[in-house]
Amino acid sequence: MFALGPIGFTAPWLLLGLAALPVLWILLRAVPPAPVRRRFPGVALLLGLSDDETQTDRTPWWLLLLRMLAVAALIVGFAGPVLNPQAERGGSDPLLVLVDGTWADARDWPRRMDRIDAALDAAARNARPVAVVTTTELPEGSPPFRAADSWHSQLPGFQPRPWAPDARKLTEWATGLEGAFDTFWLSDGVERPSRAPLLTALEKHGTVTVFQSPRPILALRPARFEDGAIALSVQRASSGVAAEATIIATGLDPNGVERDLARAVAEFDAEATEAQVRLALPPELRNRITRFSIQGVRSAGAVTLTDDSLKRRQVALIAASDDREGLQLLSPLHYLRQALEPSADLVEGALMDLLLANPDVVILADVANLAPVEQQALLDWVNEGGLLVRFAGPRLAASDVSRAEEAPLMPVRLRAGGRTVGGAMSWGEPKTLRPFGEESPFHGLAVPDDVRVSAQVMAQPDPTLSERSIAALTDGTPLVTRKGVGKGQVVLFHVTANAEWSTLPLSGLFVRMLDRLAIPSRVARPSSDALAGTTWVPQDLLNAFGMIEAAGTRPGIPGEALARGRPGPDTPPGLYAGEDRRIALNVFSDDTPLSAAKWPARIAVEGLDVARERLLKGWFLAAALAMLALDVMASLWLSGKLRGPHAGLAATMVLALVLPPHMSRAQTPQDDARAIAATTEVVLAHVVTGNPEIDRVAQAGLRGLSQVLTQRTSVEPAAPIAVDIETDELSFFPFLYWPVAADQPLPSPEAYARLNRYLRTGGMILFDTRDADISRYGGGSPAARKLQQIAAPLDIPPLEPVPQDHVLTRTFYLLQDFPGRYDSRDVWVEAAPPDARRAEGMPFRDLNDGVTPVVIGGNDWAAAWAVDENRVPLFPVGRGYAGERQREIAYRFGVNLIMHVLTGNYKSDQVHVPALLDRLGQ
Amino acid sequence: MTEAAALRSRAEGLAAALPPLLADAEHLAATVLLGEHGRRRAGMGDEFWQYRPAHPGDEARSIDWRRSGRSDAHFIREKEWQAAQSVLLWVDDAQSMGFAGDGTHGSKADRARLLALAVAVLLVRAGERVGLSGAGLPPRRGALQLFRLAQALGAVAGTADYGAPEARGILPHSRAVFIGDFMGDLAPVEAALAVAADRGVKGAMVQILDPQEEAFPFDGRTVFESMAGSLRHETLKAGDLRGRYLDRLAERKAWLSHLARLAGWQFHCHRTDEPAQSALLWLYRALEPVR
């Protein structure tokens, strides 16, 4: 390809056409523009006049230049210019495109794909066979070299994996390669021990070129709970500049919607590769967090899932009520509080109240008898998976609970009275603990020597006693017993929770035993021993882009694999659920190293940037066309055709070429101001009819009504607003007054849609035909016919004349007439449902709920209401005192109407007042 | 009966094409408040003019005895001279009058016919006799003459490029109105004026021009042709000719004005984008009696 700087040409020979341009110049120069023929009577006066200048028969030089440039652009355009033509990489050997394909790749995976695309294009031009391989998903045997084009369709199938390549397998694969080939290695930029051997192996077969993105690699270590706050650590591969990373805590909100619950900013010092941030959150919020992620980084390494280690369990502590005040150290709950406070949320109170909060654990310290209701509720709760821990004590020893037969909430039957050993009045020494057996959940805990038990409640020997006993004294009597109830379990400590009966609560063993019982929150990750033999089922899986995917029906993994803490193809990162807890397997664990990849100096490392080939042919041809269009205009102007008889037409065409095709109508700030004005206060509104006189009267009428409302009621409307139903938002207005003018245009379909929405969502329109003096409702007056046309597409329910018991007759004033300037009885509202009937003894029917969406009449209410700025009525109503009375009733109708709009059927509900009073009386 | 039928059919044929013109002209003429259109001198007529003492030689029957009875002398009652004047119109019907410029105004011919017919309406209302010069239409009076005039003016335009005023058929001591663009050769104009002056005919010349003829808004390489195509002029840069063209036009107007003054006529130049009323008013004043 012939290239000039960054531009190459696909058909360079066409450029020879440029040599013809000077010839064209001379030709064009010699041909003057064609003359205009004009009929002109004044030609008689022109006869004999000669032109002063003779040079204008030549085309002006700038027009020539324009034409030359247009032709040159055409020639260049057809010569196929290409910006950034891809320099060919030499070599005809097969090409191995090796992609790391790890989580660190995910952040700019599309760019990697683009780079591979470009490499495939280049290889296709050179007919090199290509193989594309990711290190996280190695092919069996040697790489599949194929024609480059066939890889294009497969590229979307390559996805990064959220784990690092298996070093051993990778080395094995690399040593097994055969044949000569060059390698393009798209590195993810993270240093790994497997890199050096792989590089050595690849270099044996040909040159290796490394492509690596300079973008920083960020990773998030698992969140830890430290000193009441969540500690997060962000790692980066390369230091050098100060930077910051925003960490987002994501979880389900109380509605079950996943959202960002908190965020914090971690700041890297210039030389640091690690940034710490602490996030102090309320426990309720903290328990909801399911994962942390670094904002803007699409990579599984930047996401860390939280498991139970961040959760705080809720423990309900209940002691028998005691009347001994002030003896804190003797309180049965003191040692439990001390032991559990750092790692659990403690709640105390009445049992029934606490059960409503659904705690994870309920601890009953020396509570013997429960009310039947309490017992049943507690049993249900245990059946649902609750853990009930009971401690013995004097009350339990003295009670008959679980004496003759086993109580459902006790693991064993108890013998009466219990026993005391080593006291002043008894034989023998206080007992110590026997080492825990293998079946015991306490197995492995060291038994300190100083734990002494001086009193306990005794279990009745039962066939099940030995299996229910999980801790025993040296003499074999059970100290802790347990049984399963439904999904939950009941544990009984045969001693008190305070130091009265034993020194156990004073020792560290007490805390560890509670821990083993999973009473406190799990702060530490279980050891691999603890996980051995267990099976963990994935619940949520993390893909390389840091997205959560449903695990589907993937099989469980053994606990040993989970304990290794290293994600791989068999153990994808995600959240795994075990028997009683969940463990997160994160891509980036506490000890995963992160540093930038180092390459030997002999290896060429390139960025991922691909200067894409850009065909410029279209641009050149477009430029040529634009110049020719310009030439047309210039020629017209030169030859005087832009002036003269047809100048207007020509100018229009020129403008049409120059101006954008249409001008968009922007939303003006006045719209917002208007919306604010309409919504800060109650505003009455009227529809603009287009007839200025009617609009003025409507405005004045609503002004008068607003003043009356302000004087007499608690409704204090602002100045009324004129509403254009074609353009204005209607939902701000509870009430629209619509004077119907005979010459009013019909609303557009969009306006009808909005009007219908307005009516459906509770708006009210008062239609006023203003012709009740000459026409009755349904009559043939022009305004009435117009109203029929306007209302036909509206969503208006069946109507009826206002019935005597309509709520409109009593929302504020008691009215039966609704006069305006004219006094017609024809006022129509939404019809009552046909089954509305009057209850016995009630003055009103039990009418429909809601507000009638329309009120239709012709009494010209606005004219009766209308006042000028000095509050003087604008129009006379009736005659004399009777007229003023009619105006007063008109105002009262307006007040009733607005009250109806604003309070709905509130007055209608008064029908039920006797019934309500009757019910309250009971 | 046959005459009436023929008249009616002609009238209807006339109404098809001409009433607009006539209506326009009537409309235009209505804007001129018709004042006292007497001759303002004693003569034949119906209106009283003045009493004057009888001179020797006056006929006895012309003495107004009622007036004379109130004094010692004899008085003669003079009537105002109301003898109808003949006014002959010449309207240029050449091709050049068909020029309508950029189309926003009517053609010059339209304006010329309108003016001619409007002044005819005024004159007929004043009782004058109006006709067309040349052999076309001898001066007559009455509303019917207006229809004839309208018919004659609406007839097919001439084929010549430029029109020449027609002095034939002008009655001695009558009045004449020439309406045209006077863009062609001036020799016939001079000849016609000379004939008119010889016959003691006074009158008015109205030159109707299009705005484009007055402004010459052309540029670039242009071939100008006369309306009938007989004349042709090519220029490479029309804009350069504007100044000289306008000079020549001004010169021509000055010469026409001069010619008119020599012959005792009045000259007015009217542009078609101006309201026709101004021209009509000027024409009306120009035709008022000269003392």
Residue B43 lies in a domain: no
**Nearest Cα residue to A280 out of A314, A229, A243:** A229
- The counts of H helices and E strands in chain A are 26, 40
Dist CA A175 CA B123 (whole Å): 123
Chain B residues in contact with A647 (beta carbon < 8 A): 102
Where does the pLDDT of residue A524 fall: very low under 50, low under 70, confident under 90, or very high at 90 and above?
Answer: low
- Residue B239: CB atoms within 10 Å: 16
Interval A90-117 mean pLDDT: 83
Judge whether residue A148 has pLDDT over 80. yes
Query: Is the residue at B213 inside a domain?
Result: yes
pLDDT at A134: 87
The region of weakest confidence among A481-490, A631-640, A895-904 is: A631-640
**Whether pLDDT at A895 is above 90:** yes
E strand or H helix at A670: helix A669-680
Contacts of B219 in chain A (CB under 8 A): 640, 643
B217 with A49: Cβ contact below 8 A: no
Do B121 and B200 sit in the same domain of this protein? yes
Please check whether residues B27 and B101 belong to one and the same domain.
Answer: yes
Interface test with A, best of B104, B237, B249, B253 (most A CBs within 10 A): B237
Q: Work out the average pLDDT over A719-726.
A: 88
Whether B45 is covered by a domain: the verdict is no
pLDDT category at A329 given cuts 50, 70, 90 is low
Mean pLDDT of chain B: 79
Query: Which residues touch A164 (CB under 8 Å, ≥6 apart)?
Result: A102, A103, A136, A190, A192
- The C-alpha angle A506, A510, A511, rounded to 5 degrees, equals 110
pLDDT at B16: 43
Query: Smallest CA–CA separation between B99 and chain A, in Å?
Result: 7
Residue A723 host element (H or E) = strand A718-723
Angle (CA) B115-B242-B208 rounded to 5° is 5
Contact B222 A45 (CB under 8 A): no
The verdict on a CB contact (< 8 Å) between A639 and B213 is: no
| Least trusted range by pLDDT, from A429-438, A837-846, A888-897 | A837-846
Tell me what pLDDT residue A255 has.
79
Contacts of B253 in chain A (CB under 8 A): none
Phi, psi of A877 (to 5 degrees): -120, 125
Beta-carbon pairs below 8 A across chains A and B:
116
Residues of B in contact with A53 (CB under 8 A): 236-237, 240
Q: Is B182 on the interface with A (CB under 8 A)?
A: no
Q: CB of A40 within 8 Å of any CB in chain B?
A: yes
Taking Cα atoms as reference points, which of B177, B193, B187 lies closest to residue B92? B177
Comparing A611 with A573, which gets the higher pLDDT?
A573
Nearest CA distance, A656 vs chain B (angstrom): 22
**pLDDT confidence of B291, banded at 50, 70, 90?**
very low
Total domains, chain B: 2
What residues are paired with A219 via a beta bridge? A235
Mean pLDDT of A806-833: 85
Could you tell me which residues are beta bridge partners of residue A82? A8, A615
Helix (H, G, I), strand (E, B), or coil: what is residue A131? strand
Per-residue confidence (pLDDT) for residue B252, from 0 to 100: 92
The complex scores an ipTM of 0.72
Residue B187 lies in a domain: yes
Nearest to A719 by CA among A674, A762, A754: A674
Instruction: Name which of A375, A187, A191, A376 is nearest A273 in CA terms.
Output: A191
* Tokens at A663, concatenated: 């001008």
Q: From the CB of residue A423, how many other CB atoms can be counted at a distance below 10 Å?
A: 12
Give the per-residue pLDDT at A99: 87
Q: Quick check: B244 and A49 CB within 8 A?
A: yes
Smallest Cβ distance to A44: which of B101, B102, B162?
A: B162
Specify whether B60 is located in the same domain as B153: no
Q: Which residues contact B288 (CB under 8 A, 6 or more apart)?
A: none
Considering B79, B100, B134, which residue would you say is the last residue of a domain? B79
**Is residue B154 very low, low, confident or very high in pLDDT (cuts 50, 70, 90)?**
confident
C-alpha A406/C-alpha A96 separation (Å) is 74
pLDDT, chain A, mean = 81
- Contact at CB, B234 and A35, closer than 8 angstroms: yes
Instruction: Give the separation between CA A608 and CA A112, rounded to whole angstroms.
Output: 7
Distance (Å, whole) CA B193 – CA B215: 28
A-chain CB neighbours of B163 within 8 Å are none
Q: What is the pLDDT of residue A113?
A: 87
Average of per-residue pLDDT across A596-606: 79
Q: Does residue B268 share a domain with residue B137?
A: yes
pLDDT computed for residue A888 by the predictor: 92
Closest CA to A529 of A560, A502, A505: A560
CB contact under 8 A, B224 and A40: yes
* B contacts of A38 (beta carbons < 8 Å): 218, 222-225
Task: Give the whole-number percent of chain B exceeding pLDDT 70.
Answer: 80
- Using an 8 Å CB-CB cutoff, list chain A residues near B100: none
**pLDDT at res. A658:** 55
| Residues of chain B with C-beta less than 8 angstroms from the C-beta of A638 | 220
Query: Could you say which residues from 240 to 259 on chain B have a Cβ atom under 8 Å away from some Cβ of chain A?
Result: 240-241, 244-245, 248-249, 252
Listed in sequence order, the residues at least 6 apart from B93 whose beta carbon sits closer than 8 Å to its beta carbon are B109, B155, B157, B158, B163
Summarize pLDDT for A649-696 with one digit per residue, the tens: 666 666 665 554 444 444 456 677 878 888 888 889 999 888 888 999
Q: What is the pLDDT of residue A625?
A: 92
Interface residue B225 vs chain A (CB under 8 A): yes
CA A907 to chain centre: 43
Q: Which residues pair with A262 in a beta bridge?
A: A249
Mean predicted confidence (pLDDT) in A103-107: 84
Q: By three-state DSSP, how is residue B249 classified?
A: helix
Q: What is the pLDDT of residue A708?
A: 92
Residue B89 and residue B72 in one domain: no
User: DSSP characters for A165-189?
Assistant: --HHHHHHHHHT--S--EEEEEE-S
- A residues 628-667 near B, CB within 8 Å? 638-641, 643-645, 647
Query: B94 lies in a domain?
Result: yes
Tokens 């109507």 belong to residue: A799
What does the pLDDT look like over A217-242, one tens digit per residue?
888 888 887 766 788 888 888 888 88
* Residue B25 and residue B56 in one domain: no
Identify residue A615 by its one-letter amino acid code: L
Residue B256: per-residue pLDDT: 92
Same domain, B116 and B168: yes
More confident residue, B189 or A671: B189
pLDDT range class, residue A705, cuts 50, 70, 90? very high
Does residue B42 lie within any of the structural domains?
A: no
* φ, ψ (nearest 5 deg) of residue B37: -110, 25
Q: So what's the pLDDT on residue A55? A: 47
* CATH code assigned at B156: 3.40.50
Give the pLDDT band of residue A425 (cuts 50, 70, 90).
low
Q: Identify the band that residue A141 occupies on the pLDDT scale cut at 50, 70 and 90.
A: confident
> Can you give the pLDDT at residue A86?
60
The DSSP code for B252 is H
The pLDDT assigned to A887 comes to 92
Are residues B184 and A44, on separate chains, in Cβ contact within 8 Å?
Answer: yes
> Are the Cβ atoms of A47 and B101 closer than 8 angstroms?
no
Confirm if A800 and A829 have CB atoms less than 8 A apart: yes
Give me the pLDDT at residue A88, please.
55
- Residue A56: list chain B partners with CB under 8 A: 221, 236-237
Q: What is the pLDDT of residue A398?
A: 79
Contacts of A353 (CB under 8 A, 6+ apart): none
Same domain as B196, residue B254: yes
Mean per-residue pLDDT for A426-440? Answer: 80
Do B28 and B142 belong together in one domain?
yes
Domain of residue B185 covers 2-35+84-286
A36 in contact with B at a CB cutoff of 8 Å?
Answer: yes
Q: Which amino acid, A452?
A: R
What is the rounded CA–CA span in Å between residue A634 and residue A650? 12
Which of A9-18, A697-706, B3-12, B178-187 is the least confident region?
B3-12
Beta-strand runs (E) in B59-201: 75-79, 86-91, 129-132, 137-140, 175-180
Secondary-structure percent of chain B, ordered helix, strand, coil, rounded to 5: 40, 20, 40
Q: Computed from CA positions of residues A500, A502, A503, A506, in that sequence, does the dihedral angle turn out positive or negative?
A: negative
Tokens of A416: 């009466």
B226 to A52: CB separation less than 8 angstroms, yes or no: no
**pLDDT tens figures, A548-573:** 888 878 888 888 787 777 888 888 88
User: Closest Cα to residue A695, out of A720, A732, A670?
Assistant: A720
Give the whole-angstrom CA distance, residue A859 versus residue A292: 67
Decide if A33 and B232 are in contact by the 8 Å CB cutoff: no
- Phi/psi-derived region of residue A904, left when phi > 0, alpha when psi is between -120 and 50, beta in every other case: left
> Using one digit for the tens of pLDDT, what is the confidence trace for B250-277?
999 999 999 998 888 889 999 988 888 8
Residue of A nearest to B219 (CA): A640
Residue A355 or A686, more confident: A686
For B220, the closest of A39, A53, A639 (CB atoms) is: A639
Residue A182: the pLDDT is: 85
* Closest CA relative to residue A306, chosen from A371, A250, A233: A250
Indicate yes or no: CB of A42 within 8 angstroms of CB of B102.
no
Mean pLDDT of A298-314: 80
Q: How many CA atoms lie within 13 A of B138 on its CB side?
A: 1
Q: Is B212 on the interface with A (CB under 8 A)?
A: yes
Whether B71 maps to a domain, the answer reads: yes
- Within this chain, do residues B11 and B62 fall inside the same structural domain, yes or no? no
CB contact under 8 A, A643 and B217: yes
Residue with more model confidence, A695 or A613: A695
Shared domain for B189 and B131, answered yes or no, is yes
Alpha carbon distance A249, A263 (integer Å): 6
Task: Please check the confidence at residue B49 and state whether its pLDDT lies above 50.
Answer: yes
Q: Is the pLDDT of residue A578 over 80?
A: no
The answer to whether residue B18 scores a pLDDT higher than 50 is no
What does the pLDDT look like over A44-74, one tens digit per residue?
888 877 776 554 556 678 888 888 888 888 8
On the 0-12 / 13-18 / 19+ scale of CB atoms within 10 A, B9 is exposed
Contact A644 B236 (CB under 8 A): no
Average pLDDT (A237-260) is 84
Cβ neighbour number for residue B5 with a 10 Å cutoff = 9
Mean pLDDT across A775-795: 78
Q: Do A43 and B225 touch (CB under 8 A)?
A: yes
Instruction: Please report residues of B whose CB lies closer than 8 A to that of A636.
Output: none
- In this structure, what are the phi and psi dihedrals at residue A292, rounded to the nearest 5 degrees? -115, 145
**Residue A322: half-sphere exposure toward Cβ, Cα within 13 Å:** 19
Confirm whether B166 is domain-assigned: yes
Q: Is the pLDDT of residue A383 over 50?
A: yes
Same domain, B116 and B245: yes
| A842-881 per-position pLDDT tens digit | 666 666 566 788 898 888 899 999 998 888 888 888 888 8
Residue A633 scores a pLDDT above 90: no
d(CA A621, CA A861): 69
pLDDT higher than threshold 50 for residue A541: yes
Above 70 in pLDDT, residue A781?
A: yes
